[in-house]
Amino acid sequence: MNTETTTVKPTGDKPVLHFPQGLYGFEDYKDFTLCESEYGPFMWLQSVKEKALAFLVVDPFLFFSDYELDVDDESIRDIGVKNASDVSVIAIVTLAKQKESPITVNLQGPLIINKHNKHAKQIVLQDPRWLTKHDLSQASAQRGASC
């Protein structure tokens, strides 16, 4: 996602998140920072190497209370994760190109961040419930109806 038309503001001296394997489709970009977005609770995951490369991200649990990650220990050992409490999870949001298309979030390929060493990894979940495009407005409406 290109941020040329969007204001990206660093949130203080945020540490650099290091993705040893990069992100799918962006393997050459390994270091990112999380920046505030004017669209709270969303944030920007901005490349350190290429400032124009940024992804809108969100905590998926804010919209999908039933979201579960079944991740085997081996797949996240390379980023130093020892316990589930070591991680935070964010998901990449896709903005619609056409006005009538929904804004979606990728729940199949979440980003797992080790809170202690700031190493991160994008994983692919095998659970068929989680797809690359989940409608955020629909999830938001359903969540609001249940409160």
Structural domain spans, the chain: 9-146
Q: Tokens standing for 64?
A: 């999908």
Q: Which of 59, 53, 38 is CA-nearest to residue 105?
A: 59
Rg (CA), the chain: 15
> Thinking of the domain 9-146, which architecture would CATH place it in?
Roll (2.30)
Residue 58 · residue 39 · CB < 8 Å: no
Residue 65 · residue 48 · CB < 8 Å: no
pLDDT of residue 5 exceeding 70: no
DSSP at 78: T
Q: Which of 52, 62, 70 is CA-nearest to residue 93?
A: 62
What digits encode the pLDDT tens for the residues 34-82? 999 888 899 999 999 999 999 999 999 999 999 999 888 888 889 999 8
DSSP at 14: P
Position 10 confidence tier, pLDDT thresholds 50, 70, 90: very low
Helix, strand and coil percent figures for the chain, each rounded to 5:
15, 30, 55
Instruction: Locate the DSSP E strands across 54-129.
Output: 54-58, 87-94, 104-105, 111-114, 120-122
What digits encode the pLDDT tens for the residues 107-126? 999 999 999 999 999 999 99
pLDDT at 8: 40
Q: Tokens standing for 109?
A: 């390929």
Strand partners, 31: 18
Q: What distance in Å separates the CA atoms of residue 92 and residue 98, rounded to the nearest whole number? A: 18
Q: What distance in Å separates the CA atoms of residue 147 and residue 138, rounded to the nearest whole number? A: 15
